Amino acid sequence: MLVREELKGAIEAILFARAEAIHVEEIARITGVSREDAQIIMTELAQEYNERKSGIEIVSSETGFVMCTRPEYHEYVKEASSPQVTRLSQAALETLAIIAYRQPITRAEVEAVRGVRADRALQSLQKRGLIEEVGKKSAPGRPVMYGTTGEFLKLFGLTSLQDLPPALEEEVHNG
């Protein structure tokens, strides 16, 4: 059985790892202590967080206990969790557009359209999670084929690839 400070640490870790409230009964089951002991430890832990004015507090509700940000620090957390916007280079944007409209597509096919090497642009787009390897082409050397990701759709506010505006080539041929 865990000693009191270890038990507090274990419960603190459980609360931290859980995204939603957890009942005292579940904490008792996980830690192997009685419901009463779990309740006492939870109350002590919540008090300790409150006394030291930590950025985090433990809140009790009818759904259980949950670890959350203290309200006075909400603005800081909001700022820290807002997405950091970094711009894509022109080469990366061109490469991404080619992949979006012609996927699945290989590096060599992207380079044939752009007329320049695409290695760095492909690496940058993969690193940002905007494209991914979607298979291998049935051709000599079995080159990797690329396609866009869900992150690409989210970033550009699309629900599917059908939401992409018509490509310029299509407008010329169909218009």
Closest to 56 in 3D by CA, of 96, 16, 93: 16
Angle at 162 between CA 161 and CA 166, to 5 degrees: 100
User: DSSP secondary-structure letter at 161?
Assistant: G
Residue ranges of the alpha helices (H) in the chain?
A: 4-17, 24-31, 35-51, 74-81, 90-102, 107-114, 119-127, 150-155, 168-174
Does position 6 have pLDDT exceeding 80, yes or no?
A: yes
Q: What is the tens place of the pLDDT at every residue in 74-83?
A: 888 877 766 6
Q: Any idea which of 82-86, 91-95, 148-152 has the lowest mean pLDDT?
A: 82-86
Of the pLDDT bands very low, low, confident and very high (cuts 50, 70, 90), residue 110 is: very high
The domains of the chain, with CATH numbers, are: 4-80 (1.10.10.10), 90-163 (1.10.10.10)
* Residue 129 or residue 62, greater confidence: 129
Q: Is the pTM of this model over 0.85?
A: no
What is the distance between the alpha carbons of residues 71 and 101, in angstroms, rounded to a whole number? 45
What is the distance between the alpha carbons of residues 86 and 175, in angstroms, rounded to a whole number? 35
- CA 110 vs. chain centroid, Å, equals 28
Mean pLDDT of 100-123: 95
Q: What is the pLDDT of residue 173?
A: 43
The two three-digit tokens of residue 85, written as one number: 């916007």
Q: Any idea which of 19-28, 69-78, 107-116 has the lowest mean pLDDT?
A: 69-78
* Residue 170 or residue 49, greater confidence: 49
Number of Cβ within a 10 Å radius of residue 110: 22
Q: In sequence order, what are the residues at sequence separation of 6 or more whose Cβ sits closer than 8 angstroms to the Cβ of residue 89?
A: 121, 124
Q: What is the pLDDT of residue 84?
A: 58
Q: What is the pLDDT of residue 39?
A: 92
Does position 88 have pLDDT exceeding 60, yes or no?
A: yes
